[in-house]
A and B are shown apart, each in its own frame.
Chain A
Amino acid sequence: MTLNMFVQHFINALGLGSLYGLIAVGYTMVYGILRLINFAHGDIFMLGAYFVYFTTVVFKLPWLLGVGISIIGVTVCGLLVDRIAYRPLRNAPRISALISAIGVSFFIENLAIVVFSGIPRPVVQPPLLMKPIVVGQVRLIPLGLMVPVISFFLVGVLLWMVYKTKPGLAMRSISFDIETTRLMGVSVDRIIALTFALGSALAAVAGILWALRYPRVEPFMGIFPGFKAFIAAVFGGIGSIPGAMVGGIILGFVEIMSIAFFPHLSGYKDAFAFVLLIFILLIKPTGLMGEKLEDKI
């Protein structure tokens, strides 16, 4: 393998991994607070890709404007999912919310087929981001470098919010004891909505970057990245934000590198994630950085 090829694979793996991580963070935050696996999260990611397709390709808006509208639009969708499908079930058994989550996921996918049609659409990549930078014998595409940089930056901002701001304090408190958090004067529903908003905004960014990186959109594009991001979240330790990012990166490297070194395995590409999942569940069920889940007192 030449240096050029290795660097390409490395950047690809980092990019794919950080996109998994960006989606996984949304799963892990909602799980941390509500003990709910938000199965609709992958479809929220898909909406991010469609929003950017419609704003920039169909309506030909400037890039930054299109991206801004997409993030806001997807965040609103995420908030609606919480308000309509999960909030009425807040005091219901946990399994009810889980079933509701699966229902929402099917609903968004099929609604997308009706509204967008099932035909895959091409996304136009901005030429500026595709012009290779040549360093020695290595050719780098700016878009490929941008993906991990943006992802890590956003997760850094998120960590700052969770650990250094007042709403972040409330989030960490809710994840342990909802009733006591209410006693402290926290409007719990508002903090949960904020959690969904943040998770959806990150999924939107992941969807946008995905649509640029693998330039096409289709209604079922969220299913596999969604599954894999969920696996990344479990692998990293569900409930832990850094864990979700680490899990995503590891998954990205496993997928890209195993095919890079063993090209005849490429048919099994989507299976690696599940092998990784079974492996971690056998060895350390709480994930790499997950804490032991204590029962609430």
Chain B
Amino acid sequence: MLEIRGLNVKYGAIHAVRDVCLSIGKGEIVTLIGANGAGKSSTIRAIMGLTRCTAETLSFTPPGQPPLDLQGRPAEERVKMGIALSPEGRRILPHLTVEENLYLGAYSRDDTDGIEEDLEHAYALFPRLKERRSQKGGTLSGGEQQMLALARALMSRPSLLMLDEPSLGLAPFLVEEVFDIIQTINREGRTILLVEQNAFAALNIAHKAYVLEVGAVAIEGRGEDLLKDPRVQAAYLGG
């Protein structure tokens, strides 16, 4: 579904992502783990088109269609193609209501019936959002804002959903809930690229994982294999 070869991101003199290669198959949960500043966010921002990058290959294959080159396309066009990003820090629009936030997520679509259907689906998945539908986004708790960010990203009906640190700053029981929901979303047929600092939880649900160190892929493999890998255990799983 997503093929990346030789991805590089530079911010001035800082070389944030070096020759990263990633491959994500349809229906998979793939996770990028690594320390702060390892280049995880830069990688997905580059995939989304928010950060300038160079790449040998950056191609996305929407279901049932031929592969498309992402380079040179603005972020809004990538959303239309079926890529969505739930950004780091949630970025809820605090002055818009919960429902307006959700409608904004469906901005790239014109099928009114389908949007209403997905809105109901989102409310079924996150009942608390339904209770708070007419409240301003800024009045929600951190956990509710994370749910809203997830629901909003789903409103564009993405085939590839990218999540940047969805568990950041959440209480442990909410972290568990978020990871359960990610698996539910995946079972509904969406491919997921998950960036996480909570390596244990991410590796537990991931089919495939990449460990980034100072901007380059250091280790890659199946999620469960990496959980047992001594290098990963030492560096990211607390021994």
Contact = CB atoms under 8 A, between A and B. Distances in A.
Contact of B104 (A169, A187, A188): A169
Interface string A28-40: 0000000000000
Contact of B93 (A173, A187, A188): A173
A139 interface: no
A187 B76 contact: yes
A157 interface: no
A180 interface: yes
A88 to B, nearest CB: 16
Contacts of A185: 76, 79-80, 107-108, 156
- Interface SS of chain A: helix, strand, loop or mixed? helix
Interface centre among B79, B89, B93, B105 (most CB of A within 10 A): B93
Given A179-B50, A184-B107, A186-B107, A172 B96 contact: yes
A184 B95 contact: no
A182 interface: yes
B93 A180 contact: yes
A86 B120 CA distance: 41
A176 B104 contact: no
Contacts of B108: 184-185
B74 A170 contact: no
A173 B137 CA distance: 12
B85 interface: yes
B87 interface: yes
Contacts, number: 62
B104 A170 contact: yes
Interface size class of A (residues with CB under 8 A): 10 to 19
Contacts of B89: 297
B113 to A, nearest CB: 16
A29 to B, nearest CB: 16
A133 B143 CA distance: 64
Nearest to A175: B95
B136 to A, nearest CB: 12
A49 to B, nearest CB: 36
A180 B101 CA distance: 11
Given A177-B91, A297-B89, A182 B75 contact: yes
Given A183-B50, A184-B105, A185-B79, A169 B91 contact: no
Given A169-B103, A170-B104, A170-B107, A183 B93 contact: no
Contacts of B94: 176
A172 B156 CA distance: 19
Interface in A160-208: 166, 169-170, 172-173, 176-177, 179-188
A188 B107 CA distance: 12
B168 to A, nearest CB: 14
A172 B87 CA distance: 19
A182 B76 contact: yes
Contacts of B103: 166, 169
Interface of A: 166, 169-170, 172-173, 176-177, 179-188, 297
5 closest A-B pairs by beta carbon, nearest first, are A185-B108, A185-B79, A180-B91, A182-B75, A184-B104
21 contacts: A166-B103, A169-B100, A169-B103, A172-B93, A172-B95, A172-B96, A172-B100, A176-B93, A176-B94, A177-B93, A179-B50, A182-B50, A183-B50, A183-B85, A184-B79, A184-B104, A185-B79, A185-B156, A186-B107, A188-B76, A297-B89
